[in-house]
Structure formats: C-alpha cells, structure tokens
Amino acid sequence: MAMIAVGSDHAGFLLKEDVKKFLQEKGFPVRDFGTFDQERVDYTDYGLVVAEAVAKGECEKGILFCGTGVGMSITANKVKGIRAVVCSEPCSAKFARAHNDTNILALGGRIVGTELAKMIVEVWLLTHFEGGRHAVRVEKITRFENGQQAAEDVPAQNRPA
C-alpha cells in the first residue's frame, strides 16, 4: 500500500491521532509530519509540508486536520500539483476522488467526530478516479496551474455573456 502523509495543527491533533491509528490498523503506512501535541501552531506550516510531500511523490496521498479543514485545504491547494478537498461527509469524499482525483483530504477536528472521520477517510481512500470526461476537466486545471491555459481560453460558448 502507498504511503499516506498526515499533518495537523493543534485543533486537529486529536482527530489526526485517531485517524492515524485507524489507517495503521487498516494496513496503510503513515508518515506523520506533525504537530505532535496540542500546543498552538500555525496550520500553514503543516499543510505545506504534507502538500509538498504529496506533490513530490514521497507520499501518494495526504490527510490534513485543522479546526474546520478549510485552512489546511486552502494552504495545500497553493502547492503545484495538489488538489485538496475539505469534506464533512462521505458522499463528497467519494465524488472528490471519483470526479476530481483529489490527492489531499482535509478534515475539521471541530466539525467531524472520530467515527465519521473514519468513514470519510475510508471512502476517500478506496474510491478510484473515474477518468474519462473527468480527466479532461482535471487536465484543464493542470494546464491552468502550469500557465498553459488562461481563463480567456475558455470556448466562447462556455463564457458568460
């Protein structure tokens, strides 16, 4: 199984620890980038190192934890090659993988409980990218990220009037 990177700030620490244990029990190798206690830290520091590990291929996927998941998701999405999503229920996690090929999941320690988080994580990890028409859309995102496509390149029939 591929390595899963995890990271949290102080608000997501306890949920990270519970999910990390769950992942290990399921046989997933986990690399923990911290934080390692509940002392106040900046979520950005941990979101960036996990996102970079995933972007560089050191880890196949990443799971980030903060108070809401939003800060970690925003941070991770600043790293080229990352498609991070914050989810609070399994259905969004399923479609985030199947349709958007997300490679980082962000969860809110103040939003979801441990059992719900385990359900979300399991669905997200076990769902495969469908490709097809979804691959075309993900490729457009990648081209834009790489400076190869601009918003004005959108076909005229798809632009607002």
Cβ proximity of 92 and 74 under 8 Å: no
With 0-12 / 13-18 / 19 or more C-beta atoms within 10 angstroms meaning exposed / middle / buried, residue 147 is exposed
Q: Is 99 a catalytic residue?
A: yes
Q: Which of 10, 59, 87, 99 is catalytic?
A: 99
Q: Which of 10, 59, 66, 87 is catalytic?
A: 66
66 part of the active site: yes
Q: Which of 80, 19, 11 is nearest to 46 (CA)?
A: 11
Provide the annotated active-site residues. Answer: 66, 99
